[in-house]
Amino acid sequence: MREVAVVGVGVTKVAEHWERSLRDLFVEASLKAAEDAGISLRDLDAVYVANMSSGYLQGQEHLGSLMSTWLGVSGIAACKVEAACASGGVAFHQGFLAVASGLYDYVLIGGVEKMSDAITPDILSALIMADDQEYVASTGATFVGLNALVYRAYMEKYKVKQEDIALLAVHDHAYAVNNPYAQFRNEITLEQVLSSPLVADPIHLLESSPTGDGAAAIILAPLEKVKRCNDVVIEVAASRVAVDHLSLNEREDITTMTATIRAAREAYKMAKIDAKDVDVVEMHDAFTALGIINLEDLGFAEKGKGALMVKEGEIEKGGRKPTNLFGGLKARGHPVGATGLYQIVEIVWQLRGQAGKSQVEGAEIGLAQNIGGVGSTVSVNILRRVR
């Protein structure tokens, strides 16, 4: 396999883009990535479009051909990749494999989602499609309701207080203030989080990621093509995907995401590192409890101790394991199909030294974790600065 480098990145602001379409957002992010890479879109060999719900919410499928048409490229390979909320991370994995195999040289992976102009019942229906329609969704369960079951079980099993878990939302908002692409650039307090309405007991509104629109794009190329450049070079050190049983009722322990454990273990092995070697992290925190569990399953904390990492400042910029320094899903926003790619772009900015006030000094290795369903599909991508 060839070594693979990230050569270009671009994102749109996450927001309620009422007057912009899927194609508008995708093209904006893609043009930014091409400019960053210093290439023409006509140099591309393939396009992977990450998206979860365009067919249901916009009545539009066949996004590979649609987006390549609007990018002005033809004759290339293009397709949509769907893995629920992990669509972005899984699409990146596919793009990585395509370049590493030698099949393609320049690959664009772009994620896009539009949710703000859909009504809430339709959004809830789209999100629960991440689980089993016949055996779970038919009972009336919602996606946030499933995460509420995990939250409750976690607190009871490990005797963790909700106020400690909820601190993760406060952390996210504190860093989103410095991210011009974030949906919510305002600080919040723990009191505000715990006094916000319940959306599914025990999950409060301000413990939940918002709905919004956005697009992120990344261009990959063989590392050998960029080694002679003078700029900082970012290598894809590892890319792994793992799945678990689709539904919570099929698992032995819903407080541990075994797909995360497996994907992370395989990624660390592929990158020839340990969890302790990771300098900066972007992990999937669609809900605060899920974020806490991820810190543990990625190997950064013992089971039941993830909230303590947050409480003791270990995930701050100057902490032991700086995490979600652009606001995470909670404050940067969660345009579902694009989320995993926003995370990887943010890692690239850190490793390039382009993270502004959120910059982790000397960061050389970064990890991005993206989840589909309630831990049903997990991607773990590790990037390394090689110069």
Residue 17 falls in the annotated catalytic set: no
Catalytic residue among 171, 173, 284, 334, which? Answer: 334
Residue that is written with structure tokens 């504190």 in the block: 174
DSSP 303-340: TT-HHHHHHTTTTSTTSSS-B-TT-HHHHT---HHHHH
Preceding omega of 202 cis (within 30 degrees of 0): yes
Residue type, 310: V
Mark whether 85 is an active-site residue: yes
Token pair, residue 181, equals 């692409």
Task: Specify whether the CB–CB gap between 212 and 14 falls below 8 A.
Answer: yes
Catalytic residue among 85, 171, 173, 284: 85
Provide DSSP, 114-140: --TTS-HHHHHHHHHTTS-TTTTGGGT
Report the half-sphere exposure of 62 (CA within 13 A, side-chain side). Answer: 5
Task: Please list, in sequence order, all residues whose beta carbon lies within 8 angstroms of the beta carbon of residue 2, skipping any fewer than 6 positions away.
Answer: 99, 100, 101, 102, 222, 223, 224
**Which residues are tagged catalytic?**
85, 334
